[in-house]
Structure 1
Amino acid sequence: MDMNKIKSTLRQYCLDLGFDMFQQGKQIAIESEFQHQNNDKVWNKLDAIVENENKSVVVEEKIEIKPVDIVASTSIVNTEDIWKKYFNGDSIAKYVLRRTGDKKYQFLHKSCQEYYAAQKIVLDTISWMPASFDLNDQEFQQQFEAYIHNLLINFKLLNEEPEIIKFICDRIRDTNPKFANLKSRLFRIVEASKTNDKINIAAANAITILNSASVNMHYRDWSNIRIPHAILDYAFLEGTNLKNANLNQVSFYQAFLNNANFTNASVDRIYFGEHAYLKGHADIVSGISLSHDASKIVSYSKDGTIRVWDAASGKQLHLFQGHTRSVIVVRFTPDGSKLVSCSNDRTIRIWDMLSGKQLKKLRGHSDGISSIHISFDGSTLVSSSADGRILVWELESGKSIREFEGHPVAITAVKFSSDRSKIVSCSVDKTLRIWEFSSAKKFQILEGHTGFVTDAVILPDDSKIVSCSRDGTIRIWDLSSGKQLHVLQGHSNIVNGIQLSSDCSKVLSYSNDKTIRIWDISSGKQLQILDGHAREVNSAQFSPDNSKVVSCSDDRSVRIWDASSGKQLQVLEGHSERVNGVQFFPSGTKILSCSSDKTIRIWDVALGRKMQLTDGHFESVNEVHFSPDGSKIVSCSDDKTVRLWDVSSGRQLQLFEGHSGPVTRSRFSRDSSKVLSYSKDKTFRIWDIYSGKLLQILEGYMSAVDGLQFSPDGSKVIAYYWNKSVRIWDALSGRQYHIMRGHPGGVYSAEFFSDSLTIASCSGDETVQLWDLPSKKLIQSLKGQGEIRGARFSSDVSKVVTFSDDKTIRLWDILSGNQIQSLEGPSSGVNAVQFSPDGLKVVSCCLDKTIRLWDVLSGKQLHVFEGHSDVVKEAQFSPDGSKIFSRSGDNTIRIWDLSSGQQIQSLKGHAGSLYGMEISPDGSKIVSCSNDRTIRLWSTVNGTGPMKCVWQVGVQCYGLSMKDSVWNNANGLTPEQKLLVEQRGGNF
């Protein structure tokens, strides 16, 4: 038996069979219906390309063809017994395939079929070879274009095959030279669609795969491309030219389309995944409600108004004005004809939904009203208040017909039982009370909660009460007896609310502990924890069929979860402030949300697909740094991870996981072999960049770190703190080497001398101190004037520049301890300082939004750089000292020429606050990071001209973005989509 031949033949058979099943949409294949075609050679020479991955180097490469054999056989087979033909009776295939009948075969798992189908498509794409060996790029592209329609990638859309897409993405990232041409050929397919309408499927598949592999597609000239049905969810298409493109039915869910050009593009049935938001309130939108038929949306606000919107068009139908303070709750009457609202102005108001007029104003409470509930038959209303009273009202007349007193303090919520025979209230007094409606007498006091009871619901069959509290528990009570049946424990913070599933078998709770939990009512057992929000959860609700949960949070996101598995299905981002309320439409296909950003938004629920396979941080990126050799970038994030990136491609090289809190600091060792990180979990960690392994955990401190670094020889780690100390660890053993205590104030900066034996530290106590590491002794202490707020050392650690509360900038000689210069800063104060590489100049960042350049020897101010519209947070010199790069609260990085004092360029793109930037060692690149969760690399083209964004990693957290995009004569947008484009910053 030739085992190698059998393995090779089996592999080819599986490739063919896997693709055949994909093409026919079957999971069982019949031999007689299946034809084997063997693409057996891969060209392992790199294709000629016009532009490299970063679009900065022009290449015209002559091509040498060298085929690589993949399998032994080169024949095309069409036979009645493929199995016999391939294997001659050998049964090695049993490990991948199984017979399901005569001449019928099935893969043991669908993932096997998907893998082989993907491999077949990949090998088919990279196996094409041109007719000639000696081609330039244009000639190569012409020959390739003529063949694309024959490629397997052009046979069928991959949109419903996310695993096949994933496997192809893996090959794009594969470092095996065999797959080196895959990405460029996918780009060539997209490019070829400009002139060939027979390859629309191939082009749509190609761009979908590239996007799913997190390949940047920004600033490309893709005018006239034809990619109908492509999935470009989360795509980074900043500045891309899509003039005259066929984008029909393309999905741009949460895509980044800033500065993209859609002029004359065909965008029929384009999908954005969200709708134009509803805007009109002048203050925080506190809550929302849907009419029973979901045709109308009601929103209420701290501005004292209630607004009614048409759910289909988004038009405002009514504005209910009358309340003089915040509206707390609104309720529809059972027949939907009226709306009832309550407010902190102590009134309840009844509104007519048809005319928009106020019908009744109910007065009776002496303090703000916290809750209202309408009886099932619509005849009666019950209200609760901070005055500790419960009032029952006749809706028709508006008269108060009963009053219940007993809670000594504010009541938080009140509910009718279904038959209206009882009323349940909950209070700040930590109790629930059950009242007999007919007698208006106290019936039961339910005690057990140890904190404010925030809400309570009664099951529709009037058998049980479910309550939640600031004590972090949910409790289930028997309504008739008042007996406590279950205590549901798990939340570690205030429970903000609860909601029943439609079949009343489960209850969900949402909390300030950032989680949603699902509980079984009959047993009291916890079924699921939905964990993913970064801040407090303000609302959550089951979908109508109970299969999903939607939640919203102070983290500005809306999230959709699978109720049975607890898996997060979708994150909806776009609100710019906390999200206060969320609700499913009755169909379960849309979601309604409201926010402190004063808007109401409607979102589409995704169709069960998740195409994006992004690398990147999931929370704010706190720092980025180049490796000393300039080849890599390290980043750290609130998502508790540290990541390593390849500068040339933007590819993630390592993911360092282990910290249990946000990671705030990270640094490379001088030899670029290690990374040091610090987290709010109070640990330092040292990682090996090649293996990704954790080398050491450094412990020994319980306070925030202001800075850290390796010693030049890599043997020590230094960290300085606001707690007045500098600490040193041995990097090899992880042991704490020494604590330098001498500063009576917080330490702002510390640096090693080049010999790794001397340390200089600067403190808010007005001193700069020098320490000898071997003896652990203080050598020198320099005294300033006024409390020092920050300091930076020159590159040779011979000088230090400080800035103080007295608004002066002072220069010191470290060895002598003498003050060299005192520079008078602006009256607004200084935010940061930095030496030039040669130590002869100092740049200061000022609170008056300016940057100032100073001469060290003379103390003269050389230039004032003006242009930023917010406080300048950081400034760095280029390595050659000819330029200054500044970072500001206006979310821009600006480049300034030192000799002229003029601004060279302003870099814009991040959607959130810039948290950090760094210049590459050769000065040709800038890396920046933001709380929008992205990292950007900026570079010049061929080393000259203006800087452009070369790549971005991560998906920015503000959702769909279209700032300054152009949509002139774009054909196919609905009126609502046009409004959405305008709201997102697009132009027509």
Structure 2
Amino acid sequence: MDVEGGGSKRVFQRLTGPSSGDPKHQKVCYHWRAGKCNRFPCPYLHRELQPPPPNGTASSKRHHAFAASAATDDHHSGPRRGPNNNNNNNNNNTWGRVHGNAGGNKFIRKTEKVCNYWIQGNCSYGDKCKFIHSWSLGDSFSLLTQLEGHQKVVSGIALPSGSDKLYTGSQDETVRIWDCQSGQCAAMIKLGSQVGCMISEGPWIFVGILNMVKAWNTQTTMELSLSGPVGQVYSLVVGNELLFAGTQDGAILAWKFNAAANCFEPVTSLKGHSLPVISLVVGANRLYSGSMDNSIKVWSLETLQCLQTMTEHNSVVMSVLCWDQFLLSCSIDQTIKVWVATQNGGLEVTYTHNEEHGVLALCGMHDSEGKPVLLCSCNDNTVRLYDLPSFSERGKIFSKQEVRSIQVGPGGLFFTGDGTGQVRVWKWNTLAEPASTA
């Protein structure tokens, strides 16, 4: 699936220079540093001078199709779990600092506004334009394709196990099913209610709507409706063989699947939040819930009792993410907080990362070299990519409206869904692959 794009195309970084011994080939391109080089091939370097990468080979062939059935490598992780950064218990004083070769991935900051005329395909300034002619900055990842069809905010993205289909849910009251080989919409399901969230667990797809959770088994085509929620269902997660749903009235409902009866049976309702629960994550035998009441609650998966309430955020807690022994949380208060367990078993903030804008969603994954990266959506219509634990910036993704959904896929793929209804498919580059600015 090739990407069709208008306007000038940019190649922001060339990872290896020409083999020629010409001294000018060892110079960094001035226009590339300014984000305006449109020469390909360019005789100058499109990277900062640094030690050569480790020996290894990589295919230079760019992938133009995304296949959910591709083999999942050891670094694939969903938004509920972060990759292992091998820092063990000595990490609590290292967040936010530059370590080792983090400088090798340093993000070169450029003019950070996308050209409106380039978006429309008629910018007359070309390489002299002072604005960006690209949907991203950074050399580590490429845009593979854009999926068009939803008319409103994309509120959920899911890839069920064993399926070659991508599922997306939207506030336009539909779920779209995309063929991962062709990139075409294979089917559309009209729900008659806005999709508040969507997850996959094994072959199951769970969709949160008003006063209900819809459950579909993609292998058996079984469809179930789980009643009980009061108001919109904003968050879903599976842990300890239970399905949890965060609802508009502040409750967290739990169901357990009864295989003999082929149904989900209600187990309990966790009470404690005073406003809607909009983020849930499971890790270390705990359930963590983020709410519009500005708090995070920690629940035991065994007893389903609340163990701790954290109130360090001073605005809505939009997303929570488990990463090794750490918990990361983000908020409209323009912060990302890193929590670590204390000797008494509770959690406390070990590092606070400040943003210039409110933070809407977090997602963790590994890049093509196995390095942990945090994807952070902000309400200035950008997604920022950070190396962890240093929080060194790796790049930035731009959208016409806020990105509310980020999902990790197999083989270095990840997906973003924004407020216009557009879903974009991205891929981490190998060493030989240049970044795409389509």
Partner of 1:400: 266
Instruction: Quote the residue 2:304 is aligned against.
Output: 440
- In the alignment, which of 509, 523, 529 is matched to residue 376 of structure 2? 509
- Give the Å deviation of 1:600: 4.2
Q: Matches of 2:44 and 2:222 in 1, distance apart?
A: 58
CA contact (8 A) 1:382 1:416 kept: no
Offset at 1:501?
3.5
Matches for 1:511-910 after TM superposition, within 5 Å: 511-513=378-380, 514=382, 516=384, 518=386, 520-521=388-389, 525-528=390-393, 530=395, 551-554=397-400, 580-581=404-405, 585-588=409-412, 592-600=415-423, 602=425, 608-609=433-434
**C-alpha contact (below 8 Å) 2:160/2:201 kept by paired residues:** no
For the residues of structure 2 that align with 1:431 and 1:275, how far apart are their CA atoms?
37
Displacement, 1:444?
0.9
Q: Which amino acid aligns with 1:554?
A: K
1:591/1:602 contact within 8 Å kept: yes
Please list, as runs of the form range in 1=range in 2, the aligned pairs for 1:332-343 lying within 5 A after superposition: 332-334=200-202, 337-343=203-209
Query: How far apart are the structure 2 equivalents of 1:508 and 1:605?
Result: 13
Contact 2:282/2:288 (8 A) holds in 1: yes
| 2:226 pairs with one of 322, 347, 362 | 362
Higher gyration radius (CA): 1
Q: Quote the Cα distance in structure 1 between the aligned partners of 2:373 and 2:229.
A: 35
Q: Is the 8 A contact 1:318 1:356 kept in 2?
A: no
1:144-543 matches, within 5 Å, as 161-163=41-43, 277-279=147-149, 281=150, 283-292=152-161, 295-321=164-190, 323-334=191-202, 337-343=203-209, 345-354=210-219, 356-358=221-223, 360-375=224-239, 379-396=241-258, 397-418=263-284, 421-459=285-323, 461=324, 463-479=325-341, 481-502=345-366, 507-513=374-380, 514=382, 516=384, 518=386, 520-521=388-389, 525-528=390-393, 530=395
Residue 295 of structure 1 aligns to which amino acid in structure 2?
Answer: D
Q: How does 1:77-92 map to 2 (within 5 A)?
A: none
1:110 is the counterpart of 2:25: yes
Q: Kindly indicate whether the alpha-carbon contact (under 8 Å) linking 1:453 and 1:468 is maintained by their aligned counterparts in 2.
A: yes
Counterpart Cα distance in 2 of 1:477 and 1:611:
35
- Write the letter of the residue equivalent to 1:473: T
CA distance in 1, matches of 2:270, 2:296: 13
Cα distance change on mapping 1:492 and 1:284 into 2, 3 Å:
closer
CA distance in 2, matches of 1:510, 1:491: 11
Give 5+ residue unaligned stretches, structure 2.
1-16, 30-38, 47-119, 125-132, 135-142
**Displacement after TM superposition at 1:317 (Å):** 4.0
Matched with 1:172 is none
Contact 1:403 1:440 in 2 (8 A): no
Distance 2:235 2:123 in 1: 47
State the shift of 1:423 in Å.
1.2
Counterpart amino acid of 2:246? S
Is contact 2:289–2:320 with CA below 8 Å preserved after alignment?
Answer: yes
CA distance in 2, matches of 1:429, 1:370: 14
Q: 1:306 to 1:443 in 2, by over 3 A?
A: same
Quote how far apart the aligned CAs of 1:295 are: 2.3
Alpha-carbon distance in structure 2 between the residues aligned to 1:366 and 1:237: 49
Asked if 2 retains the 8 angstrom alpha-carbon contact of 1:162 and 1:609, the reply is: no
In the TM superposition, what is the alpha-carbon distance from 1:410 to its structure 2 partner?
1.9
Instruction: Say how many residue pairs are matched.
Output: 312
Quickly say closer, same or farther: Cα 1:518–1:315, change in 2 above 3 A.
closer
Check conservation: 2:385, 2:395, Cα contact below 8 A: yes
What amino acid is aligned across from residue 359 of structure 2 in structure 1? Answer: V
Shift of 1:604: 7.6
Contact 1:473 1:487 in 2 (8 A): no
Q: 1:553 to 1:361 in 2, by over 3 A?
A: same
Question: Offset at 1:298?
Answer: 0.6
Which amino acid is 2:198 matched to? V
Q: Given the superposition, is the C-alpha separation of residues 472 and 594 from structure 1 closer, same or farther in structure 2, using an over 3 Å criterion?
A: closer
Tell me, in whole angstroms, the C-alpha distance in 2 between the residues paired with 1:237 and 1:510: 28
Q: TM-score, normalised by structure 2?
A: 0.59
Superposition deviation, residue 297 in structure 1: 1.1
Task: Write the distance in 1 (CA, Å) between the matches of 2:255 and 2:206.
Answer: 12
Please tell me the residue identity of whatever aligns with 1:476: V
1:856-881 residue CA offsets vs partner (Å, 9 max, x unmatched): xxxxxxxxxxxxxxxxxxxxxxxxxx
More helix by share: 1
The question of whether the paired residues in 1 share the 8 Å contact of 2:341 and 2:348 is answered with: no
Q: Deviations over 1:722-766 (max 9, x none)?
A: xxxxxxxxxxxxxxxxxxxxxxxxxxxxxxxxxxxxxxxxxxxxx
User: CA distance change for structure 1 residues 342 and 515 in 2, over 3 Å: closer, same or farther?
Assistant: closer
Letter in 2 for 1:422: R
How far has the Cα of 1:384 moved from its partner? 0.9
Distance 1:326 1:512 in 2: 21
Could you tell me whether the CA contact under 8 Å between 1:382 and 1:415 is conserved in 2?
Answer: no
3-state SS of paired residue (2:264): coil
Higher-RCO chain (CA-CA 8 Å, sequence separation at least 6): 2
Letter in 1 for 2:287: I
Distance 2:205 2:354 in 1: 37
In structure 1, give the amino acid aligned to 2:328.
V
User: 1:985: which partner in 2?
Assistant: none
| Structure 1 contact 320–356 (Cα < 8 Å) conserved | no
Give the Cα separation in 1 of the matches to 2:329 and 2:45. Answer: 47
Residue pair 2:362, 2:374 contacting (<8 A) in 1 also:
yes
The 1:519/1:427 distance shift into structure 2, 3 A limit, reads: farther
After TM superposition, give the deviation of residue 351 of structure 1 in Å: 0.6
| C-alpha distance 429-308 of structure 1, shift in aligned 2 (>3 A) | same
Q: What's the counterpart of residue 92 of structure 2?
A: none
User: Structure 1 residues 282 and 296 mapped into 2: Cα distance closer, same or farther (>3 Å)?
Assistant: same
Instruction: Work out whether residues 294 and 585 of structure 1, in 8 Å CA contact, stay in contact via their aligned partners in 2.
Output: no
Cα deviations by residue, 1:381-411 (Å, 9 ceiling, x for unpaired): 1111121111111134311112211112222
* 2:173 partner SS: coil
**Displacement after TM superposition at 1:448 (Å):** 1.2
Q: CA deviation at 1:356?
A: 4.3
Matches of 2:371 and 2:435, distance apart in 1: 31
Say whether the 8 Å CA contact 1:580–1:595 is kept in structure 2. Answer: yes
Contact 1:382 1:392 in 2 (8 A): yes
- Mapped to 1, the partners of 2:200 and 2:435 lie a distance apart of 37
Deviates more, 1:496-505 or 1:472-481: 496-505
1:324 shift after superposition = 3.2
Give the Å deviation of 1:162.
Answer: 2.1
Contact 1:162 1:611 in 2 (8 A): no
- Supply the AA of the counterpart residue of 1:586: P
Partner residue, 2:139: none
Kept after mapping to 2: 8 A contact 1:290/1:585: yes
Shift of 1:311: 1.0
